[in-house]
Amino acid sequence: MKFRILSACALVCALALGVAAQEAAKQAEVKVSGGERDAAAKVEKAKGIEARLQAAAAFVKKYPQSSLRKGLAEALAREVAATTDAQTSLSLAQTYADIFNLPDEQRQVSATLLSGYINTGQVEEAMKAGAAWLAQHPDDIATMQNLAILASAEAINKKNPAYVAQGRQYTAKAIELIEADKMPQGYDAARWPEFKQKTLVGLYREAGVLAHITGDNRAALPLLEKAVLLNTPDPNIYFIVAQLVNEIYETSAKEYQVAAPAERAAAMSKAEAALDKVIEAYARAVAVSDGKPELARANAFFREGLESYYKYRHKNSTDGLQQFIDKYKKPAQ
């Protein structure tokens, strides 16, 4: 799961450290000592970002008020952000933050730190950093989605629901922004329509899963149904929806059995409408799992139930059933 916050994408070490330091001094119109320039030059000449950070630490310790500090911090932050390995980038950003501890300097690696926490699965740190980031960037839909994914994975894989409520808040907000067509600041307008469609599928999936984890199936079902209608590629969502609508049907069937004579017609109509939704959901589940060996057991389970329900609603016949299933299959890519 790779993630890059929009403002951190495509950052490269475009300026030489020495040039950045000299430019900062020039703009500040102040004279710097020869010792400062020599110390800054050591940062520039060090081989590798780790060595440059070590040299920068020595520079900042000796010259904390230097006018060259700003240029060094900016150039090193760009180089840290350009590191592609998630774990290395995070480690470098943490080292940078220990050295350059002024508020403006810290902000230069906040995106890199958040990205690193997310990519390395450090959920607690990611949630804390994410909350701080979103307070400053309230329209960052991608970050909201990635934090929600972390929250659901933590709940499912580690049985830790501590971040579910936070994840649900993020998915709700992100869905609200997309459906209101509010493009994040600085985003590529040409890519926005495709981003909206793909992201909305994932957001409805995560929102529904997070609700389902907590047992809030009344909220989960419409969210997961939206994901299904948007053709989520996750077969598990089709299976969950099928199970949830079947539970509604079974409740309706029991209500019919105990209904008073005057209420039986209405109760029967309600149960049959619920059953028709089950038949559709089961057909979708069969369609998405057909021909996939890893889903063979689920496919057999839902196909058996589908045939039984379909026959009940079609005078004990399965005529047209396969065509009904086929209409929910995606075209070959």
* Residue-wise pLDDT tens digits, 102-143: 999 999 999 999 999 999 999 999 999 999 999 999 999 999
- Checking if the pLDDT of 144 tops 60, the result is yes
What is the pLDDT at residue 4? 43
Domain extents in the chain: 1-120, 126-232, 237-326
- Checking if the pLDDT of 317 tops 60, the result is yes
Which range is most confident: 4-18, 183-197, 213-227? 213-227
Q: How many CB atoms lie within 10 A of CB 231?
A: 11
The secondary structure of residue 7, as a DSSP letter, is G
The secondary structure of residue 295, as a DSSP letter, is G
What is the pLDDT at residue 148? 96
User: What are the angstrom distances between the C-alpha of 329 and each of 24, 287, 333?
Assistant: 61, 5, 12
The answer to whether the beta carbons of residues 296 and 285 sit under 8 Å apart is no
- Checking if the pLDDT of 205 tops 70, the result is yes
Three-class SS of residue 5?
coil
What is the pLDDT at residue 14? 36
- In angstroms, the CA 317 to CA 312 distance is 8
- In angstroms, the CA 194 to CA 112 distance is 25
> In 3D, which of 41, 45, 75, 79 has the Cα closest to residue 59?
41
User: What are the angstrom distances between the C-alpha of 210 and each of 55, 60, 129, 276?
Assistant: 46, 46, 21, 27
Q: Residue range 282-307: average pLDDT?
A: 98
User: What's the mean per-residue pLDDT of the chain?
Assistant: 91
- Checking if the pLDDT of 85 tops 80, the result is yes
* Centroid of chain to Cα 304: 35
Note the helical H segments in 108-163. 110-119, 123-136, 141-157
What is the pLDDT at residue 185? 84
Tokens of 27: 């703009």
What is the pLDDT at residue 16? 41
Q: Is the dihedral of CA 236, 241, 247, 253 positive or negative?
A: negative
Percent of the chain with pLDDT over 90: 88
What is the pLDDT at residue 126? 97
Q: Residue range 309-326: average pLDDT?
A: 97
What is the pLDDT at residue 79? 96
Q: Is the dihedral of CA 35, 36, 42, 45 positive or negative?
A: negative
> In 3D, which of 13, 56, 51, 14 has the Cα closest to residue 36?
56
What is the pLDDT at residue 20? 54
Tokens of 41: 């030059």
Cα angle: 317, vertex 321, 323; to 5 degrees: 145
The secondary structure of residue 104, as a DSSP letter, is H
Q: For 160-178, what is each residue's pLDDT tens digit?
A: 999 999 999 999 999 999 9
- Residue 8's pLDDT band, with cuts at 50, 70 and 90, is very low
Cα angle: 166, vertex 140, 232; to 5 degrees: 75
Residue type, 212: H
Tokens of 185: 């600041």
- Residue 23's pLDDT band, with cuts at 50, 70 and 90, is low
Q: Residue range 40-56: average pLDDT?
A: 95
